[in-house]
Amino acid sequence: MTTQVNVKPIDEQNHLKRNALLYLVLGIIFSFSFLYNFFEQTISAEPTLERTLLFAGFVLFIVMIFVCFKVMKSANNIKKETFYCGNFQDEYLNYVNMKGYKYSFNFACFYLITIYIVTELYRNSTSDFTAVIDISNFCVVTMGLIFISYSIPVLYLLKGADDE
* Identity of the residue numbered 13: Q
* Selection from 111, 94, 116 nearest residue 7 by Cα: 94
CA distance 118 to 130: 10
* Residue scoring higher pLDDT (35 or 96): 96
Q: Is the pLDDT of residue 125 over 70?
A: no
Average pLDDT, the chain: 84
Mean pLDDT across the stretch 110-124? 82
Q: Is the pLDDT of residue 53 over 70?
A: yes
Domain ranges of the chain: 11-163
Mean pLDDT across the stretch 72-89? 80
Q: Is the pLDDT of residue 154 over 50?
A: yes
What pLDDT score was predicted for residue 162?
60
pLDDT confidence band for 107 (50 / 70 / 90)? very high
DSSP string for residues in 149-161: HHHHHHHHHHHHH
Q: Is the pLDDT of residue 142 over 70?
A: yes
What pLDDT score was predicted for residue 25?
94
* Selection from 59, 32, 58, 53 nearest residue 144 by Cα: 32
Q: Judge contact between 74 and 18, C-beta under 8 A.
A: yes
Q: Is the pLDDT of residue 149 over 80?
A: yes
What pLDDT score was predicted for residue 1?
41
Looking at beta carbons, which pairs linking 57-64 to residues 24 or more positions away fall under 8 Å?
Answer: 57/29, 57/32, 60/25, 60/28, 60/29, 60/32, 61/29, 63/25, 64/22, 64/25, 64/26, 64/29
What pLDDT score was predicted for residue 75?
82
Q: Where are the alpha helices (DSSP H) in the chain?
A: 9-38, 40-45, 47-75, 80-85, 91-122, 135-163
- R_g of the chain computed on alpha carbons: 20
